[in-house]
C-alpha cells in the first residue's frame, strides 16, 4: 500500500509541474429549509474537542494574515466547525504540489477544473457521491441544478468535487442608453449587430457632436463566442463522433464570422486597436463613451453601471447583457468560467467534518455571508435588519472567496447592481465551460494569429482557417 501511495504522489508531482496557477481569469436564503438548523447549536466544548478540518485554499479566507485569523474564528463561531485553513495567495500550485506529494495531513483542497482533470488520474480524491446524495442541502435541486452534478460526474458514476461558487461567463455588454437614444432594438443576428454598430459609430450616440465612437471594442478575439454561436460553434476544443479532436473556431463553419468581423474593421465600426487591446483598455473604451459594446464577464454589467452611476447618479449610462446569437436550430452558447472545485483527499481522517464544512461554508446562508461579506463587526454591521459594509468591507468588495454563490435560491442582503441579476440568468441559461487540454493554450495562439490576419483584411476568412488547420495539424494539436 505504501508503494502504491508513493507512486500516486510521485505521479501527482510530475503532473502538477505542468499546471498553471489557480485563477479567477469573482442575506437571506430563498428557502430556509435548506439551511442547517443545528449550525449554531453545537456546544463550544464539543467544537474544541474535535480535530480541525485542514484546508488548503487559493482564495477562501481573510484578505490578509491578520484578517485571516479573524475569518477562521468567524467560521468556527457561526458554523460550529473547527478549521485550520492555509491560504496561499501566490504560487498556489507549488504549495499544492508539495502538499500532495509529501502526503501532508490535509482534508480538503481547492483547485480549478484544469488542475482537477490532470490530477484525477492519480486516484487521490475521495468520491463524494454518497455525501452529496445524503445531503438535504446539496441534493436539493433548488440549491444546485442536478445537471451541474451530472456535468462533473465521472465515467465510474462518482462525483469527486463540490463547486466553490458561480464562476460567471462572458457575454455581449451593450450600451442600452445608446440604443434608446438612437431608437434601436437590441440586436439578435449578425446583420442586426452590424446595423447597430454602424449607428453607434456614425450617429453620435453620446451626443457630443464628435466623430469619436465605435460600435464594438475587442481584446483580439477574446471573446467572439457570442458571434460564433450564430453558426453553432463553441470556444475551446471538441471531439467528433469518431473521437477525433478538432477546434470549432478553426473549421470552415467559422469563415463567415471572420469575414463579418473583417467587414466591421474595414468600415471603421470596430475599434482599430482591437488586435493589441488589453481588457482594461476595452473597459476604458466603454467607460469613456468611445465604444458601444464589449464582450466580457457578466459581473461587469453591474460593475460598469455602478462605477458610472455612483459618481454621477443622473448619468443615463446603462450597460445591459445580451444572450448569444442563436443558430438555425434556435440554440446558443456563451463561454462560462472554468469551475473552481473543492476535493476531499482519500487520506483525510476527518471526512465527515470536512464534508460538513463544504456543505455549510458554501451552500448555507451563514456560510455564504462569511465567504462574501466577511466578518460581522469587521467587514459589515447589521442595524435595523439591514447589512451595512464598513470602510474595510467596502475595500474587500464582498469577496472572501465567493463573489456570487453557486446556490440557486440565494438572495443577497445587499442591493444588486443595475441589470446584473438579469445578466447572470442569461449566462446560467446559455453558459458552457470550454474543454481544455495541455495543448489548448498554444492552439489558441495559432487561431488568434490567423484570425487577426483575417479581420485586418490581410487574408480572407477561408485562407485564415486553412492556415489555422495546416499549422494545428503540423503540431498535432488536432487530429
Q: What is the pLDDT of residues 49-95, one digit of tens each?
A: 579 999 999 999 999 999 999 999 999 999 999 999 999 988 998 88
Count CB-CB contacts under 10 A for residue 429: 11
Q: What does the pLDDT look like over 276-285, one tens digit per residue?
A: 999 999 999 9
- Cβ contact 319:286 at 8 Å: yes
Q: What does the pLDDT look like over 185-218, one tens digit per residue?
A: 999 999 999 999 999 999 999 999 999 999 999 9
**d(C-alpha 442, C-alpha 472), whole Å:** 9
pLDDT-based confidence at residue 396 (cuts at 50, 70, 90): very high
Place of cell 440568468: 425
Dihedral of CA atoms 279, 284, 290, 294 in degrees, nearest 10, equals: 30
Is residue 476 pLDDT above 90, yes or no? yes
Is residue 12 pLDDT above 50, yes or no? no
- Please tell me the pTM assigned to this model: 0.82
Is residue 9 pLDDT above 70, yes or no? no
Helices (H), 17-88: 44-48, 65-79
Which is nearest to 250 in space by CA: 473, 470, 478, 468? 468
Query: Please, what is the average pLDDT of the chain?
Result: 90
Is residue 294 pLDDT above 70, yes or no? yes
- Residues 6 or more apart whose Cβ sits within 8 Å of residue 232: 253, 327, 328, 329, 331
Lowest mean pLDDT among 44-48, 64-68, 180-184, 221-225: 44-48
> How much is the pLDDT for 22?
41
- What are the cell numbers at 343? 476535493
Q: Which element (helix H / strand E) includes 283?
A: helix 279-287
- Cβ contact 411:143 at 8 Å: no
Is residue 372 pLDDT above 90, yes or no? yes
> How much is the pLDDT for 28?
31
pLDDT-based confidence at residue 24 (cuts at 50, 70, 90): very low
- What are the cell numbers at 309? 452611476
Percent of the chain scored above 70 by pLDDT?
Answer: 90
Detail the DSSP E strand segments found in 32-100.
53-57, 83-87
> How much is the pLDDT for 40?
42
The neighbouring-strand residues paired with 381 are: 388
String of DSSP letters for 132-154: HHT-TTTT-TTTS-HHHHHHH--
110 in helix, strand or coil?
strand
Is residue 293 pLDDT above 50, yes or no? yes
As a whole number, mean pLDDT of residues 24-32 equals 35
**d(C-alpha 48, C-alpha 81), whole Å:** 9
As a whole number, mean pLDDT of residues 390-415 equals 92
Is residue 307 pLDDT above 50, yes or no? yes
Better-predicted residue by pLDDT, 50 or 231? 231
As a whole number, mean pLDDT of residues 242-248 equals 94
pLDDT-based confidence at residue 129 (cuts at 50, 70, 90): very high
**d(C-alpha 224, C-alpha 235), whole Å:** 9
Detail the DSSP E strand segments found in 286-441.
293-297, 319-321, 334-336, 340-344, 380-383, 386-389, 410-411, 431-433
**d(C-alpha 77, C-alpha 207), whole Å:** 55
pLDDT-based confidence at residue 36 (cuts at 50, 70, 90): very low
- What are the cell numbers at 270? 470596430
- Cβ contact 299:221 at 8 Å: no
Better-predicted residue by pLDDT, 8 or 311? 311
Is residue 423 pLDDT above 50, yes or no? yes
Is residue 8 pLDDT above 50, yes or no? no
Is residue 32 pLDDT above 80, yes or no? no
- Cβ contact 302:418 at 8 Å: yes
> How much is the pLDDT for 268?
98
As a whole number, mean pLDDT of residues 441-461 equals 97
88 in helix, strand or coil?
coil
Sign of CA dihedral 356, 362, 368, 373: positive
Amino acid at each position: 500500500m505504501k508503494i502504491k501511495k508513493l507512486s500516486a504522489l510521485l505521479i501527482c508531482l510530475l503532473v502538477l509541474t505542468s499546471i498553471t496557477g489557480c485563477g479567477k481569469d469573482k442575506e437571506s436564503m430563498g428557502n430556509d429549509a435548506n439551511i442547517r438548523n443545528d449550525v449554531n447549536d453545537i456546544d463550544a466544548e464539543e467544537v474544541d474537542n474535535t480535530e480541525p478540518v485542514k484546508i488548503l485554499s487559493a482564495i477562501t479566507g481573510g484578505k490578509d494574515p491578520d484578517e485571516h485569523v479573524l475569518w477562521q474564528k468567524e467560521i468556527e463561531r457561526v458554523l460550529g466547525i473547527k478549521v485550520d485553513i492555509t491560504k496561499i495567495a501566490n504560487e498556489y500550485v507549488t504549495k499544492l504540489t508539495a502538499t500532495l506529494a509529501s502526503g501532508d495531513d490535509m482534508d480538503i483542497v481547492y483547485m480549478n477544473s484544469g488542475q482537477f482533470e490532470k490530477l484525477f488520474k492519480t486516484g487521490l480524491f475521495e468520491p463524494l457521491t454518497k455525501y452529496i446524495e445524503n445531503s438535504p442541502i446539496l441534493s436539493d435541486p433548488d440549491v444546485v441544478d442536478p445537471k451541474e452534478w451530472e456535468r462533473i460526474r465521472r465515467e465510474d458514476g462518482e462525483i469527486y468535487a463540490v463547486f466553490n461558487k458561480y464562476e460567471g461567463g462572458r457575454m455581449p455588454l451593450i450600451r442600452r442608453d445608446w440604443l434608446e437614444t438612437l431608437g434601436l432594438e437590441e440586436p439578435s443576428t449578425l446583420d442586426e449587430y452590424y446595423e447597430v454598430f454602424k449607428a453607434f459609430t456614425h450617429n453620435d450616440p453620446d451626443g457630443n457632436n464628435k466623430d469619436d465612437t465605435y460600435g464594438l471594442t475587442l481584446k483580439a478575439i477574446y471573446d467572439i463566442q457570442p458571434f460564433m454561436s450564430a453558426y453553432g460553434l463553441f470556444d475551446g476544443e471538441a471531439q467528433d463522433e469518431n473521437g477525433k479532436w478538432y477546434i470549432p473556431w478553426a473549421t470552415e463553419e467559422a469563415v463567415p464570422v471572420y469575414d463579418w468581423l473583417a467587414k466591421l474593421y474595414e468600415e471603421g465600426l470596430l475599434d482599430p486597436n482591437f488586435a493589441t487591446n488589453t481588457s482594461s483598455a476595452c473597459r476604458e473604451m466603454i467607460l469613456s463613451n468611445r465604444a458601444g459594446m464589449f464582450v466580457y464577464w457578466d459581473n461587469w454589467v453591474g460593475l460598469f453601471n455602478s462605477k458610472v452611476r455612483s459618481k454621477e447618479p443622473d448619468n443615463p449610462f446603462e450597460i445591459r447583457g445580451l444572450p448569444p446569437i442563436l443558430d438555425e436550430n434556435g440554440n446558443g452558447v456563451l463561454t462560462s468560467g472554468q469551475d473552481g472545485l473543492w476535493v476531499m483527499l482519500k487520506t483525510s481522517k476527518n471526512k465527515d467534518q470536512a464534508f460538513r464544512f463544504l456543505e455549510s461554508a458554501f451552500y448555507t446562508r451563514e456560510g455564504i455571508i462569511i465567504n462574501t461579506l466577511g466578518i460581522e463587526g469587521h467587514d459589515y454591521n447589521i442595524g435595523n435588519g439591514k447589512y451595512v459594509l464598513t470602510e474595510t468591507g467596502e475595500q474587500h468588495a464582498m469577496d472572501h472567496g465567493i463573489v456570487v454563490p453557486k446556490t440557486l435560491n440565494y438572495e443577497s442582503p445587499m442591493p444588486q447592481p443595475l441589470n446584473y441579476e438579469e445578466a447572470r440568468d442569461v449566462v446560467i441559461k446559455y453558459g458552457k465551460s470550454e474543454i481544455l487540454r495541455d495543448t489548448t493554450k498554444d492552439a489558441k495562439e495559432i487561431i488568434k494569429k490567423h484570425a487577426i490576419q483575417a479581420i485586418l483584411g490581410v487574408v480572407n476568412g477561408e485562407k485564415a482557417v486553412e492556415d489555422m488547420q495546416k499549422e494545428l495539424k503540423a503540431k498535432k494539436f488536432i487530429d
